[in-house]
Structures are given as C-alpha cells and as structure tokens.
Amino acid sequence: MKLPERIILEHGSGGALSRQLTEQLIYPVLKNEHYTELNDATAFHSSGRTLITTDTYVVDPPFFPGGDIGTLGVFGTCNDLAVCAARPRYLTMGLVLEEGFAIADLRRALESVREAAKRAEVRVISGDTKVVPSGKGGGIYMNTTGVGEALGEHILSSGNIRGGDAVLISGPVGSHGLAILAAREELKIGSALRSDCAPLFPLCEALYDLGGDLRFMRDATRGGAAAVLNETVSASEKYGLEIVETDFPITGAVAAAADLLGLNPLEIANEGVFIAVVADAAADRAVARLRAFDIGAKACRIGTVGERWPGKVILETAVGGKRILDLPRGLLLPRIC
Amino acid sequence: MSSPFQQSLHDRRLAAPLIEQIHESAGRISRTVRIMEVCGTHTVAIRRSGVHSLMPQNMLLLSGPGCPVCVTPTAYIDNALSLLHDSRVTIVSFGDMLKVPGSDGKNLAAYMGAGRVRIVYSPAELTSIARGSSGPVVFLAIGFETTIPTVAAAYLHARRAGVDNLFLYTAFKTVPPALHALLDSPDRNLDGFLLPGHVSVIIGEHPYRFLENTGGVPGVITGFEPLDLLRGIAALVKQIERGEQRVENAYRRAVRPEGNPKAREISRQLLEPSDALWRGFGTIPASGLSLRADYMDADARLHFSLPDLRNIEPAGCSCAQVLQGRVRPIDCPLFANACTPESPVGPCMVSSEGTCAASFRYGDTPL
C-alpha cells in the first residue's frame, strides 16, 4: 500500500492507515535502538539527577529560512534542558496534523527532526500522531518532551546572582523572530534574515565548567532578551540589572528590518541565543569559552548586576540616557515557535 | 538603526554637546523650566531613548494632549458600544481605541472575537471591509492632522467606488486650537512647547504663529530620533533663557514651512472645522473636523442618532489633569496600582502613545 500525497483523517484513526503512516514514514525516518517497535511506552536508562521539560511548537509558517518546525522541536526543547545544565538525552514527539497536510512536507519535517537529533545527540524514543479536520489546525503542530542528565551538583538559579556579577549574551539577537515574520508576511526585506535555531548545549557545558562562578543561564526565546533579563531579577528584592544597549551584538540585517518594522531587537524571539550571569572575575574566561564556538563568536558582556534598582532592568540607551527595559507587553508576534 | 545616517541620530558623541547646551541654558534659569511635548509619539520617544533621564534637575518634561485615543471622551466609547445593539453593525477602528473602557468598564475589544469589531492598520482597508459586509460599517474616525488626510482619502475612494454602507463616526482633533486653550488657561504654568513633528509635516509652521503674540511662549517643531529631540529641547531652552517666543523649525529634513497643501486639500474636500469635546479640556472651539454638508449621509452620529458627547471621568482617574500637564502619571494614586497596561482605568494607560503607559514602561524622571 502506497502512502497518499496528503494527510487524511484516517491517519489519526488508530487503524490501518495510522499504522501505515507510522511504519512507512515515521519509523523509517526516526528509528534508533530504542524506538523500533509499536510499544505504548519505551524504557531508557539514566544516571544521576534527571531533568524533564516539555515544549509545544506551532510556528507559522512551519518551514522558514534557517530551520523548520522539526529543527525547532528538537533544538528548542534540548536548549531548555541545556540552560538548566542538563545534557539532553531523550525526546518524545507528539504530532497534531491537519487533514490535507502534504506527506512530503511531513517527511521533510521528520527528516529535520532526525538531523537535528543527530546534531544535538539526543534520541527520539516515543511518539504519537493525531489528525484534526481541515480548517481546524495549522498544518502541523509538534510537542516534544525532553529528558536530560544533570551535568553536576551545582544547580543554576537566578537566586545565585550577586552584586557585580557580569551579564553575558551568547550571540546576536533578533534573527529568529524576524525571519519568521519575513517568511510569513513575504516581506521583501527578508532575504538576509535567517533563524538562528541551533543547539546550545555545547556552549552551556563549556560555561558549566566554571563551577560556582556560573550563576544562571536562560535561553532568550519568546519575549527576547528583554523578557529573560526581567525574569532574572523580577523576583529579587536586592538586585537589578544595568544593561548597555549598544553592547548587544546585532547583525545589520536584523537592525535594518527591526527599524523598518518598528520593533525592538531586544524583544524579538531567538532560538540559538542565551543569557548567562557569571561572577565578574570569570566574565572574560566565560566570554572566551563562548567565542570558541561558531554561534558564540559574537558573545560578549552586556551588563552588570547592581543593587540600585532592585527587581528592575535598567537600559543605558545608545544616546547615553537610562530607562527601564520592561517585559514586552501585548501580543508581539503570535506563533513564533 | 539601519543606515549610518540613522545611527548618527543615536550617536552619543553628537548628543554630548547638545546635552551640555541644555544644561547650561537651564542652569542660567533660576526656576523650574516646564516644557510640554504636545505629541504622544514624542512622549514615547523621549522616554524610550532615555532622553528624559539626561535632562537637568530644574527641567520638567510634561506630556500634553497629543495622544488621539487619550483625548477622546469616554462618552464616545459609550456611543460606539451602543452601536453594537444593532446586530447588523460592524465597527472598524485603529487598535489602541479598543481597550479603552467605557463608563461602565466595558470595552470594544470584547466584541472582536465575534467579528463585530475589527482592527485596521490602514484606512485603505475600509473599502474591502465595507464591500464584504451586508450591514452598516462604522469607522471610528479619530486622530490628528497626521491621520486625517489618509482617512479622508480612503473614505472618498470608497465613496467613488460606490460603497454606500460605510459611515464615519468623527472625533478628529486639530493641534493648534488645543495649544491655544493651554495658553489661555488662567492657571497656565508652561514655558514652551515641543511642537509635533508629524502633525507639522502636514500643517507646516504657519498655524503656530499665534504663539509669537503677546502672552505667548516659544515653540520648536521637533523630530523623533534622540538627536532630533535633544536639538529641539536645546533650541527651546535657549529661547526660554533669553525670554524669546518664536516658532522655530528644528525638523527641517521632514517639515517644510508650508507643510503639505495636497494632504490638507484632501481633508478639506470631506471635512470642515467644528467645535470638539476633549477629555480633560472640555469643548475647544473649532478644534475638530466634521463631515461637510455634502457628506452628511455618511455621518454615523446623524444616521444612528447618537447622543451628544459630554465628559465623564472614571472614579479616581487623573487622565484629565495628566493631559493638561497638571499632574504627572506617578502622582496619580491609581498609577501602577489599580491602573496598569493590562488593566487600564484611563486612556493614558491604554494607548501605546499614552503618557501613563510610557511612564509605566520606561520609567519617569527622575529614574
């Protein structure tokens, strides 16, 4: 029996066509030593402290310059583990497909999952597929749950930060959100914009070697750097952040597109950038470690933990003024990841 | 910050001498200098760029009545909400207007899900929306001189295209009469105006000349990038220091002395001056624009027999005083407590150009 060209409702029925989709498409693309049979659950082995996370991907469009929902589904979830100092090991994958979605596109997304999983050194070990009627879904949605092994006993938390600590960023901001927006709206400005979607674990691991000098890490996804910086201190009664706008690495393409669209690059989603807080004395070493990686080549210090404005992020602007850098408000860009 | 030119407008080396000049001038004035930026876009730009934090201790930057959503009376929202009682009516609006609470706390945004209320980013969409609708479509026509010509052009286009179910609920406002009202106020406490750059692109320099008369104050037409803002403020403070009261154009790369006569002509075809009710001010003579007699059939106020507007303020809300520069947002008891951008009480916290929203987001002087 040959696979049809498009997803039909019966692919989610649990019957013969569901089995056909799994056996002829999903297994052949994703199979590994754990994921070979139609079992309801899969066993895996883990040592030490184990972390688990889940994330759901509804990105529109599902294919965009620099990645697709498959790469995002793997790297996004692995990055949530990585910034919590866990080595990503296993993923589960749930798919919600809309009736009429092209099988060729599904294959493409699954192949991206396979390639991304290879790069991130994780295994997909369980999965599920559901189909919703035409008009009731956005083509393809994906959920991935990730399991990772803790790198060590030192637990990263915003509660670790101290006055004088350095705030670092791992790379240029704003490219993912703008690449999605440009692809969605077919903006002609978009040709130079590519998502930065990438696995962050190697960079996070390199910083974890700093031991207690590494206080906290967080990937700057939805809400961009502005949201993460605020998360870092919003609960603190003692510390705030003093951040320098012109110290952020930013590509010419992102600067131009953001300016044209009236968006602030610091509020735009990234998929391959994280913020780290490290002890002041370790800042230069940390930056050097990040810069050893291609995606960390532009890593730098963007600010300092201070005690003057507890709970707030204060931005020194290009012109030398100071203002609050608030959490982004309102619906910025829906379905960005 | 796309081009080197754009970047230069943020350059702190170019900013430094202007900041110094502002401090020197203000230093020679032995009292608090009170400057009003009339335009909501200025309010946001000054705070987002951090320019407010660079000002001397004895300078107060006050926001004026230049946010169109903010100066629209609550009763206008009530009237718009009442239009929805007729199940055939669709309301079309710019986004900011929809979250402003009416006098009973309800807002228009609540009706978006059902498709009764729709947002447009450009009035050019009006023709297709009206064509796609079987019932009457009412556009909430608010805005200043900058917006008015685009709305007028879009409406005239729709009318020429044979659209007959599109109505305008006009609450347009013009800036110079509001400046007049601020000057005439018996307890006025202002040393000068930063005049709105975008409005001036349309109206030019001439309509501000009355500021130069006896009892006037200086006014400087100012742009929106950090260096534009500093240049405008520097020019204004220098005039205040010297006791001058001239209208000056510090935004020549965009504003011509004569403005844009073509755009004004399009507005004139459709609209004529009328008295208008402003939140915080009351009725200001000839400060609004209403449909000319030839287009009365498209006036939502007449077609739907909407009651006349009057000012009713939400309990405890200081927006009326904020809009006149009498109260700063942080001095309002509701600010950041009962009134936040997520749960606004007054329009100054709703609009992206509102003074309270800008102070909430970016912080106020002194930071």
Please tell me whether residues A44 and A75 are part of one structural domain: yes
pLDDT for B224-233, tens place per residue?
A: 999 999 999 9
Q: Which of A150, A174, A196 is the last residue of a domain?
A: A150
* A–B CB contacts, 8 A cutoff, strictly below: 72
Answer yes or no: is pLDDT of B2 > 80.
no
Q: Is residue A89 in some structural domain?
A: yes
Question: Of A92, A124, A150, which residue constitutes the final position of a domain?
Answer: A150
Same domain for A230 and A304, yes or no, is yes
| A319 contact B CB<8A | yes
Give the gyration radius of chain B's Cα atoms. 21
Q: Are residues A24 and A97 both part of a single domain?
A: yes
Domain limit, last residue, from A124, A150, A176:
A150
Domain total of chain B: 1
Mean pLDDT score across all residues of chain A: 93
Q: Which of B12, B59, B198, B350 is the best mutation test for A, with the most CBs of A within 10 A?
A: B12
pLDDT in tens, B100-129: 889 888 999 999 888 899 988 889 899 999
Q: What percent of chain B has pLDDT over 90?
A: 75
Q: Is residue A115 scored above 90 in pLDDT? A: yes
Q: Is residue A129 part of a domain?
A: yes
Closest chain B residue by Cα to residue A325? B362
**A285 and A305 assigned to the same domain:** yes
- Smallest Cα distance from A255 to chain B, Å: 6
pLDDT at site A332: 56
- In this structure, the answer to whether residues A172 and A319 fall within a common structural domain is yes
- Contact criterion met (CB below 8 Å) for B334 and B317: yes
**Residue-number span of the structural domain to which A32 is assigned:** 9-150
**Residues A289, A305 within the same domain:** yes
pLDDT of A36 higher than 80:
no
Query: Looking at the complex, does the CB of residue B46 fall below 8 Å from at least one CB of chain A?
Result: no
The complex's ipTM works out to: 0.82
Across B170-197, average pLDDT = 94
CATH number for the domain spanning A204: value is 3.90.650.10
Q: Does A330 score more than 80 pLDDT?
A: no
Give the pLDDT of residue A161. Answer: 97
Q: Is A329 on the interface with B (CB under 8 A)?
A: yes
- pTM of the complete model: 0.86
CB contact under 8 A, A319 and B367: no
Let me know whether A172 and A312 are in one domain: yes
A173 and A75 together in one domain: no
Q: What is the pLDDT of residue B46?
A: 95
Closest by Cα among B331, B205, B238 to B22:
B238
Do A236 and A310 share a domain, yes or no?
A: yes
Residue numbers of the domain that contains B135: 1-367
* Total number of domains in chain A: 2
Please judge whether A315 and B50 are an interchain contact, meaning their C-beta atoms are less than 8 angstroms apart.
yes
Domain harbouring B73, CATH code:
3.40.50.11750
pLDDT above 90 (res B222):
yes
CB B178 within 8 A of CB B279: no
- Answer yes or no: do A30 and A142 share one domain: yes
On whether residue A329 sits in a domain, the answer given is: no
Greater confidence (B367 vs B269) lies with: B269
More confident residue, B178 or A31: B178
- Residue A328 is predicted with a pLDDT of 85
CA B350 to chain A, closest CA, distance in angstroms equals: 11
Say whether pLDDT at B181 is over 50: yes
Contacts of A327 in chain B (CB under 8 A): none
Average pLDDT score, chain B? 93
Q: How far is A267 from chain B (nearest CA, A)?
A: 13
**In chain B, which residues have their Cβ closer than 8 Å to the Cβ of A319?**
10-12, 15, 49-51, 54, 226-227, 230
pLDDT digit string, tens, across residues A192-247: 899 999 999 999 999 999 999 999 999 999 999 999 999 999 999 999 999 999 99
Of residues A290 and B119, more confidence is placed in A290
Residue B1 has pLDDT above 50, yes or no: no
Cβ distance A321 to B16 less than 8 Å, yes or no, reads no
Same structural domain for residues A257 and A315? yes
Q: Are residues A51 and A105 in the same domain?
A: yes
> Residue B235: is its pLDDT beyond 70?
yes
Mind telling me how many Å the CA of A36 is from chain B's nearest CA? 45
Residues of chain A in contact with residue B365, where contact means CB-CB under 8 angstroms, are none
Contact B53 A318 (CB under 8 A): no
Return the pLDDT at A262.
Answer: 80
Query: What does the pLDDT look like over A155-190, one tens digit per residue?
Result: 999 999 999 999 999 999 999 999 998 888 776 665
Give pLDDT, residue A279.
Answer: 98
pLDDT, tens digit, for every residue of B128-165? 999 999 999 999 999 999 999 999 999 999 999 999 99
- Please report, for the domain that includes residue A119, its CATH number: 3.30.1330.10
| DSSP H or E run through A78 | helix A69-82
Q: How confident is the model at residue A331 (pLDDT cuts 50, 70, 90)?
A: low
